[in-house]
Amino acid sequence: MELKIYKDKFEVAEQFSAYFVEKAAHSDAFHVALSGGSTPKIVFDVLAEKFADKVDWNKVHFYWGDERCVPPSDDESNYKMTVEHLFSKIDVPHENINRILGENDPKGEAMRYANLLEINLDRVEDVPQFDLVILGMGDDGHTASIFPHEIELWNAEDHCVVATHPDSGQKRVSINGKVINTAKEVAFLVTGTSKAEKVEAIIEKTEGSKVYPASLVNPKSGKLVWFLDEGAAAKLNQNPS
């Protein structure tokens, strides 16, 4: 595990963008699973505005780690957010964008997307392998759309699962833990003091931390990078990199 701690979410966005550019440069075809949320939104803005000309977008293939079951025009759609903050500002081929169809029946879409990953990605022990999975973490310790109350979905047989938000009851389609941990590299983007308690529990492996799905992220490759701001890292006994 590697910890990278920066002053604020804007420095996190800048440093992660530089990291992304470097990773994409060393691959003929770069398959990445995106995250939704407020921090990726800022990252996408910075990536588009300051680094767009440093990436060969023809070889970057975009997917999502999870998606809310809403139409692509809905303000809650992770896809819509990515279009507004990244795709509309860069020259990426349409066929390189592999969205989860949030408007479709969730169970059928989970099956379709799992099949798509099997076709498009190399597989390791029958599990599709991303080059990079980008993750966020909720205040409750959830990641992708695997929530604490459904933590059993982490090891589900299917590569993609239908999850339910604990408060709203909203359905979501999410990749499972096996897909996350099979990725060549996994990067967490976590900012804000509201995340500090869970960040401490997960990184310091405190007693009881295993109830948080984010604590189960442990890629077989050993390549796990946390991009944190000082707020999210406030309770850690670590020095910034």
Alpha-carbon distance of 36 to 15, in angstroms, equals 18
Helix 78-85 vs helix 38-51: crossing angle, to nearest 10: 30
Give the type of residue at 12.
Answer: V
User: 192 is written with which tokens?
Assistant: 């804000």
Count CB neighbours of 237 within 10 A: 7
Prediction pTM value: 0.97
Are the C-beta atoms of 48 and 13 separated by less than 8 Å?
Answer: no
Alpha-carbon distance of 180 to 132, in angstroms, equals 9
User: 34 is written with which tokens?
Assistant: 């995106």
Count CB neighbours of 159 within 10 A: 23
List own/partner pairs for 49-53 with CB under 8 A and 24 or more apart.
Answer: 49/89, 50/14, 50/17, 51/17, 51/18, 51/20, 51/21, 52/89, 52/90, 52/91
Residue 240: per-residue pLDDT: 46
Per-residue pLDDT of the chain (241 residues; tens, 9 = 90+): 999 999 999 999 999 999 999 999 998 999 999 999 899 999 999 999 999 999 999 999 999 999 999 999 999 999 999 999 999 999 999 999 999 999 999 999 999 999 999 999 999 999 999 999 999 999 999 999 999 999 999 999 999 999 999 999 999 999 999 999 999 999 999 999 999 999 999 999 999 999 999 999 999 999 999 999 999 999 998 544 4
Count CB neighbours of 118 within 10 A: 13
Residues 6+ apart with CB under 8 A from 185: 23, 131, 132, 133, 219, 221, 223, 224, 225
Helix (H) or strand (E) holding 127: strand 127-128
Q: Which domains does the chain have, with CATH numbers?
A: 31-41+50-174+183-192+217-224 (3.40.50.1360)
